[in-house]
Structure 1
């Protein structure tokens, strides 16, 4: 056989092997997810309370596992995306850290109570049938999971909380009309669609502006970093101490407001003093270059991403399994209740394992979207996004605003991106202000050539460092989340009701 023909045949074999490998990988992830759901079905068959609603409890467990998988695939990317995009963490390490921290947060500090009607979105009356209530929860839960699954497929990071809100709203209206809805609560949630990303973006941009003007734009960056980086790390320590005290450890500790502030101050001072020697040692070996100084933010960024994942697991595990706890409580008591019910350990375990597995199997694509496709990230920018997310949640909690961690994180990414864009258009790039260059006199209109006109137009063109199509796509997904999940939940509830009455 001629050599050229042999080479062609070998190339075909290699391409076939590559295609087979890609196909096996694409099949493996859904296969493992299905095995996880089958395992839940088998376990729930033994744990479900006996009675006429036992089937609904088993089905609710499977739906909870499906929901947890989708939360892991979509929501966790917001915490790890900037760290991966900045190359502070490789994708594999980010997945491992996030999986461990999410599971630890869910199991060790997961909320011990959850409102069965998702923050009082709907309030069933005394005559509401328990079977209708269980189907309402199942329909809303399944609709939210399907919507998040679709959004993940489309590379759109959406709010899992708002997906559940939309599902409960749509199923509740289908079950009992508009009178069942708590409209003041819905108004506050709708306001958070704007408040969350704007607040996160403004705070992230302000933090990045401080880093640029106080450190990166200084002639002696190393000296400036030795002065300010420990303060920024101390700020991170104080903010996260307050964040975890308020949002992460509610199961085991509920401190007063004064205690939270004191805790934040203590950790701020301790973090600043403890990291000064570390920063000084690192700074002694650095060149006075932006890239080298920016590396000082890498290790703090890794800790910030891990802490965000821990807090996310502690809080959002209720989004994954809260309705399941409501279904179990309704099956055990035989009544529809809008009160608080306990989250049993096995319910928390479903949420923790499902979130971690969903992140590992389906999270990488959305992590890349958040970390690389909206705007270019580096360690200082990603650090500002993570710190802004924690600060925004603290402010929102103090003001009583129901905000979305997804909206805050993505808003922070947009905030640092638009700040970079504005500074670049003002001539303030990575190395600070540039001295103005003398501009030659422009040719007169009589001597100007078409080439001159084109060059002038290009010179006037503003730089765009944020990809607009991602801005519009993500914003559109946010706007339609509640109505899409609500409409799907209403249809599912009507289908379930028709089947049960048949």
Structure 2
């Protein structure tokens, strides 16, 4: 009599092997991402050396290109959450599709809209005449890139979305102060910029709360939601289309368009009207197949939300590629002028810069690679771990972020898209808490004396721990970036000797 095989033992062994493979995957995956990131940085430096050939400054610029690639990777990993987080949190896009769409949009925006980098912030913050030696300026820019990348990398690892613009400004101020002294910085201008960083998240939160309250009043709380949706959803979508048209008109580089405030408003109104004409029959057709429920109304906002996320990624690539390669472009300009034998005083290091295509590719590809390798962590944070989003709430976040940037651009105030977007997410969450508490009080169900504190905390719709982490990161970004940049500059200056 032959022995029958014990299949149960085999199943247990296979289960153990599957568990081991799963654990190994969790361990290897981060190392794979790190390896690919290091390989990209090395390729950026090698490509720069091949392009420049045997020039005397090749090694220095190649090292700067490595720093620029490192910064671009971290900008892509951190800032993509502002654009794709609401769409992923609202389940309008799966994570994989969102990462791929964001990467392609970032590359397209950087290549089409980022070929002219103007060091506006540097010119306003730093007195160009105070930096007479090109070598000092090169070392300061390299220190600013390295310090910015290190801080954004740490913030991404901690799960805190921070402003890369805020980081690079703090790093430039720190490096310039260490190199020249406090007199090189226009502290009044810096104070105005810092004030805008404080106000912008509150403005974004207020606009998002107002939009959500309006949607609830006009559609969600109506008995006949379908009729209300037929009437108002095309209007909301037209507002979003007009807002993004003005956003693009004001934020894309001047060589594409340089409209005045009134011209941008006219563009927005025209695009908004076209969006209304397109959206109305689509919403009418879709609404006929929907039921009288809030969930059905949310579906009407899903496609516009996806389009908004892609447009925000495009605009981010066009606008923020300067944060990654602006210092690199400055180094290229300064070293080229110095090699030509120009006197240091004749080198206007903060003049408008034309970025070579190979340098632009480093920034564009770096942000795309950063999105693909390290984007999910911050997308999950912004999209689902601060508060729960659905298509309607995510629409309010995206539209209010665009409107806040538009208003700030009209006023000439630099704001952080990170602060605005995350502030809008927080505003939506706190508004939901407020309305939920008010509804409970009206129905007299639970909000009565003696309700346990633990029970009250469980009913919060905004996760306080994540909010406090983000706020703390915002508060310390500038001083940490400045101090780290000054330290890195000191080390570079000491090594260069």
TM range (shorter): over 0.9
Tell me the distance in 2 between the aligned counterparts of 1:372 and 1:280. 31
Give 1:417 shift: 0.5
Q: Which residue of 2 aligns with 1:88?
A: 92
Give 1:47 shift: 2.1
- Gaps of at least 5 residues in structure 2 are 339-343
Correspondences of 1:300-315 after superposition (within 5 Å): 300-315=304-319
Q: State yes or no: 1:356 paired with 2:360.
A: no
User: TM-score of the superposition, structure 1-length normalised?
Assistant: 0.92
Give 1:11 shift: 2.8
Contact 2:115 2:357 in 1 (8 A): no
Q: State yes or no: 1:99 paired with 2:103.
A: yes
Q: Which of 412, 429, 438 is the equivalent residue of 1:417?
A: 429
Tell me the distance in 2 between the aligned counterparts of 1:396 and 1:127. 30
Q: State yes or no: 1:478 paired with 2:474.
A: yes
Tell me the distance in 1 between the aligned counterparts of 2:194 and 2:445. 52
Q: Which moved more, 1:79-88 or 1:28-37?
A: 28-37
Q: State yes or no: 1:427 paired with 2:423.
A: no
Q: State yes or no: 1:408 paired with 2:404.
A: no
Give 1:233 shift: 0.7
Q: Which of 355, 372, 384 is the equivalent residue of 1:343?
A: 355
Q: Which residue of 2 aligns with 1:183?
A: 187
In structure 1, the residue corresponding to 2:256 is in which secondary structure? coil
Q: State yes or no: 1:118 paired with 2:117.
A: no
Q: Which residue of 2 aligns with 1:76?
A: 80
Q: Which residue of 2 aligns with 1:449?
A: none
Q: State yes or no: 1:159 paired with 2:163.
A: yes
**Cα deviations by residue, 1:423-480 (Å, 9 ceiling, x for unpaired):** 000007xxxxx984799xx9xxxxxxxxxx8557788778311111111110000010
Q: Which of 38, 44, 49 is the equivalent residue of 2:48?
A: 44
Give 1:248 shift: 2.3
Q: State yes or no: 1:168 paired with 2:177.
A: no
Q: Which residue of 1 aligns with 2:488?
A: 492
Tell me the distance in 1 between the aligned counterparts of 2:221 and 2:254. 41
- Pair 458,17 (structure 1): closer, same or farther in 2 beyond 3 Å: closer
Q: State yes or no: 1:389 paired with 2:401.
A: yes
- Gaps of at least 5 residues in structure 1 are 429-433, 443-452
- Paired residues, number: 484
User: TM-score of the superposition, structure 2-length normalised?
Assistant: 0.93
RMSD over aligned Cα atoms:
2.2
Contact 1:117 1:338 in 2 (8 A): no
Tell me the distance in 1 between the aligned counterparts of 2:33 and 2:410. 41
Contact 2:171 2:481 in 1 (8 A): yes
**Cα deviations by residue, 1:322-356 (Å, 9 ceiling, x for unpaired):** 00000000010124522221122222111111101
**Cα deviations by residue, 1:296-338 (Å, 9 ceiling, x for unpaired):** 1001100111111111111001011100000000010124522
Tell me the distance in 1 between the aligned counterparts of 2:143 and 2:454. 54
- Pair 13,192 (structure 1): closer, same or farther in 2 beyond 3 Å: same
Give 1:23 shift: 2.8
Q: State yes or no: 1:325 paired with 2:329.
A: yes
Tell me the distance in 1 between the aligned counterparts of 2:411 and 2:146. 31
Tell me the distance in 1 between the aligned counterparts of 2:154 and 2:204. 25
